[in-house]
Amino acid sequence: MKWPAIFVLLSICSQAAAQDIEVSVFSATSKSAILRWTRVYGASSYKVIAAPQNSPGNPVGYAVFGPHTVMGTINSLSPNIIYTFTVAALDNAQEILNIGTIDSSSAPEVMDPLLTMKSKDSKTFIVSFSLKTGATSYIIRLQNPNRFIRENIVSSSPAEIESLDPYTEYSLSIMSVNSGGQSQPSSPVTAKTVLPPPQLSASSPSNNSITVSWAPVANAVQYSLSLYKFAWNTTIIKHNTSNTNWIVSGLDMGSVYVIKGFAWDPEGRQGEDSLYIDQMTRPAVPSIANVSMVMNNGLAGISVSLERDEGVFGSLQYHVMSDQNLTCNSTSSSCTLSPVGCGEVHTVRVSTSDEAGPSDPSGPVVFITFPCPPQSLAVVESTEGSCTLTWDTVTHVNSYTAFIKRGDGAEESCNTTSRSCTYNCTCGHTYLMSVMAFNQAGSSPEGQVLNYTTLPCCPEGVSISAVSTDTFEITWTVSRGAELYQTRAADSSEVILCNDTAPVCALSDLSCDSSYSVVLTPCNDISGCNRACKAHTQITAPCMPMNLMLTQRNSSCFSVSWTPNNRLANYTVTASGDDGTRTCNTDGNSCDITDLPCGSNFEVSVIATSPAGLGLPSYSELLETGPCCPVDLTVDQVTQAMSNVSWSPAKGAHTFITSLTSTRGHARCHTMDSHCLMGCITCGTNYTVTMEAISHSGRRSNCSYEGFSSSACCPSGVRLYGMAHSSLRVHWHGAGSSHSYVTELVGSRNNYTCTASPGESSCDVPNIQCGDVYTVVVAPLSPEGSKVLFCAQRIYSVSCAGSNLGT
C-alpha cells in the first residue's frame, strides 16, 4: 500500500502545477462516484484518488485510466461522506503534467422498505417510511405490470402518490437523496389500487319511482347503493346488486332524493365512493279549477285557473294545452291561452312539471269562446220606404242585435234570434248598419259595418267647354247622395270615361273633329249609379293636318299640300323665316306660297279652323329656296394654260362649281371660296362661263355669265439668224394668222423691238450691237394691241464675226 506516499507527492506537485484539469461529478451512489475531466495534451494516463474531506491524508481508493478516457468510476466509498476527488494527468515517465480536484458527497445508504401503503382512492396511494439522517428528499419508484417505471420525489413521510391507474398492482421501492446523489433502491413491496366509482345517472319514469343506472365498472363483482330523502338524516333504502341499474318504487311524489354507490372487487375490497347525485320524482296530476275569457292588450285569451298542491318540494311548471294547438306555461296557479278567435271550441288539459319531468295530463275541460260577428250583411229594398237587413247564420249563438244609424243622426235597433231585421229607409240618405251576436262567453267583436245609400239625383247646371283641342271641361252642381260622378263621352268609334268625386271633370285624349255624346252619371259606393240622366252633345276642334308636302313650282314659288282629315274646315298655311312671313288660305288641301327670295329658309306649317275652334298646327317642314347667283364674275388669264376665276358673295350658297366650256375642251373647279384657279386652258379659244351655286342642303342654282376668250398662243421654234449689215432675223412658228406679233431683244447695253403683221412669222432687227447677250421674247398682240405677258424668254449671245453676226 503506497497510497499515502503517492497522495502526498500529488499534493506537493499540485502546488507547482497549473490547475488546468476541470473535474466534475457525473453521478454518485452510496459506494461509488462517476467523475468527468478535461483531456490534457501529452498525457499517457490519468490517476483518480478519493479521500475524505476531513482527512485528506487518508485516501480510500484510486483508479488509473488510459490517455483517451475522460470519464471513470471510483469505488470503495462510504455512504453520506464528503470526499475530495483528485485527477492527475501523467506522462510516459509517470510525471505529473496537470492536476484537478473537486469536493462532493457520496449518496446516502440504502433505505428500509416502505412501512405502510393504503389506497386513498382509486388513483392515489398513501405511503409511510423511516427517515434517513443526511437525506434532503426521497424518491419513490413505482413499476406497473407493463414494467413502466415512474418516480415521485417526496420530502417527508407519509406521502401521497397520485395519478395512478385504478385496480392496478404496483411494485414500490424508495431511495434517499442528498447533494451527492441518490441511494440504491430499497427492497420492493407490492400494492394494488381499488376500483373506480360507478358513474351514476338517474331519472324519474313516474311520480313515485326513480331509475338509477351506470356503466359497468371493469373487474367489479357487485355494487352497493344508498338512497336518502333530501333533508332526512337516515338512509331509507340500501341495495346490493350485480346489475348496472336499480328501479326504486313507492317514493313520495315531487320529492328530492340523494343517491351514491361503490363497486366491490374480486378480493372483496370496497372501491372508491361515487359522487352524490340528486333526483326528483315527478309531480302529481293537477286539477283545473276554472276556465274563462280574458282580454290582454287587445288580444282575447282563455284563462285557466289551477288547484295548486302546496306540499310539493321545489318549483312547479304548469303546462296548459288546447286541442287547437295553443299552449302556455306558468309557475303560478293560472295561465292564459292566447290568442284565441271567435266561435272556437277548445278541449283544455293541464300537466305539471318539475326537475324530473312532466306529470300525466288532467282530465279534459271543453270551453266555447265568444261568437264571431255576423258576416255578409246585405240590404234589400223590398218596398218603397222599407228595407230589410240580412246576414249569415253564426254558430254557437243565442241571439242577435242589429244597429241602424241614418245620415241625419237618427238611430234604431232590433233584437232577434233570426238572421234578418226590417227598418224604414228613404231615398237620398246614407245608412250605417252593424250586427252583434251573443252567447255565454260574451258578445262578438265589432264586425262588418254596412254602408247603404239610396240612388243619388241627376246633376243640374251641366256646362261643357273645350279647354284645348282634345279636352272638354265639364262642370255641374252637387247632387244629393252622390259620392262619385262618372262622366262618359262617346262618339262613333270610342268611349272615354272620367270618375271623380268633385263636380268638375276633364275628358282628355278626345278624337279631333268628332261629335261626342256626354252623359254625367252620379254614383255612390253602396247603391251604385243613377243611369237615367240625359245626354249632352259637343263637337271637338278640327284635326291637325298630316303628311305635309312641299313641291317647288319655280325658284320663288312652292306648293304646300296635305292629307284632308276634317269634315268642314278652313286652312291657313304659314311660312316663317329670316326674310319675313308668307301665308295663304284655302278650304281645300293645297295652297301656293309665292314671292320667296333666293337663298332663304322658311318653316312651313298648316293649321285648321272650324266652328268648334282652332286645331293644332301641323308638324313643320323646312322650305329652302335655291341659293343666289354671284352678281359679279371675273376671269383673268394667269398663264397661257391657266386662268383665275373670281366672283362676288352669293346668299345661301355654300360651295360653287365653275365651268369654262369650249369646243376644244373645258375646265372645271369645285370650291367653297370666292375664287378658283383653273388649268388646261387652250390659248386662242372662246369659252362659255357657267356656275352652279350649291346650298348646305344641296340645293343648286344655275348661273350664266359673259363668255371668255383666252389669249393668242405664244409662238414656238423661235430662232435668230445673222443677216448682212449687222442685222438679225427673228423667226418663229405661229399658232394662227389672225394675230400680230411683237419681238423684244433686251441686252445689257441696248434694247430692240420689231413687229410682224398678221400672217407673218419673222421680223428683222437692223443695227444690232454684237458682242452682247440678249433676252428674246416673241409674243402675240391682242386685238386691243396689248402684248401677251406670259410667253417664254430665250437667251442668245450675239458674237462679232467680221462683217457678219454669229449667234
Average pLDDT over residues 246-266: 89
pLDDT (0 to 100) of residue 290: 87
Buried b (16+ CB within 10 A) or exposed e, 222-260: ebbbbbbbeeeeeeebeeeeeeeebebeebebbbbbbbb
pLDDT (0 to 100) of residue 737: 66
- pLDDT digits 0-9 by tens, 36-46: 999 998 899 99
Same domain, 722 and 694: no
Same domain, 206 and 276: yes
Are 411 and 392 in contact by the 8 Å Cβ rule? The answer is no
pLDDT (0 to 100) of residue 760: 87
**pLDDT over 80 (residue 235):** no
- pLDDT digits 0-9 by tens, 111-130: 889 888 888 899 999 999 98
Q: 551 lies in a domain? A: yes
Same domain, 794 and 721: yes
Q: 806 lies in a domain? A: no
Same domain, 515 and 578: no
pLDDT (0 to 100) of residue 579: 87
Task: Please state, rounded to an integer, the average pLDDT across all residues of the chain.
Answer: 87
Same domain, 520 and 594: no
Same domain, 469 and 425: no
| Domain edge (last residue) among 253, 280, 307 | 280
Average pLDDT over residues 176-196: 88
- Burial environment of residue 92 by CB neighbours within 10 A (0 to 12, 13 to 18, 19 or more): exposed
Q: How many separate domains does the chain show?
A: 9
pLDDT (0 to 100) of residue 802: 54
| Domain edge (last residue) among 240, 256, 280 | 280
The predicted model scores a pTM of 0.42
Q: 77 lies in a domain? A: yes
Q: 7 lies in a domain? A: no
**pLDDT over 90 (residue 586):** yes
Average pLDDT over residues 776-790: 86
Are 195 and 265 in contact by the 8 Å Cβ rule? The answer is yes
**pLDDT over 90 (residue 305):** no
CA distance 804 to 131: 169
Q: 83 lies in a domain? A: yes
Element (H, E) at 343: none
pLDDT (0 to 100) of residue 309: 66
- pLDDT digits 0-9 by tens, 697-735: 888 999 999 888 888 888 888 898 888 878 889 999 886
Q: 431 lies in a domain? A: yes
Average pLDDT over residues 155-177: 91
pLDDT (0 to 100) of residue 727: 87
Q: Which residue pairs from 665-672 have beta carbons closer than 8 angstroms and sit at least 24 positions apart in sequence? A: 667/643, 669/645
**pLDDT over 50 (residue 316):** yes
Note down the domain range covering 417. Answer: 378-453
CATH number at residue 204: 2.60.40.10
Place 61 in a pLDDT band, splitting at 50, 70 and 90: confident
Same domain, 150 and 207: no
Q: Which residue has the higher pLDDT, 134 or 626?
A: 626
Same domain, 647 and 575: no
Average pLDDT over residues 424-444: 86
Least confident window among 14-28, 48-62, 523-537:
14-28
Are 505 and 486 in contact by the 8 Å Cβ rule? The answer is no
Same domain, 584 and 602: yes
CA distance 370 to 344: 8
**pLDDT over 70 (residue 384):** no
Are 167 and 119 in contact by the 8 Å Cβ rule? The answer is no
Residue type, 648: S
CA distance 699 to 326: 91
Q: 326 lies in a domain? A: yes
Phi/psi region, residue 180 (left: phi>0; alpha: psi -120 to 50; beta: rest), is alpha
**pLDDT over 90 (residue 220):** yes
Phi/psi for 11 (5° steps) reads: -65, -40
Pairing of strands 716-723, 700-709: unpaired
**pLDDT over 60 (residue 432):** yes
| Domain edge (last residue) among 226, 258, 280 | 280
Same domain, 467 and 519: yes
Please name the residue that has the C-alpha cell 462532493: 104
Order of all β-strands in the sheet with 686-694: 665-671, 655-662, 686-694, 700-709
Displacement of CA 185 from its chain's centroid (Å): 76
Q: 373 lies in a domain? A: no
Element (H, E) at 732: strand 727-733
**pLDDT over 90 (residue 288):** no
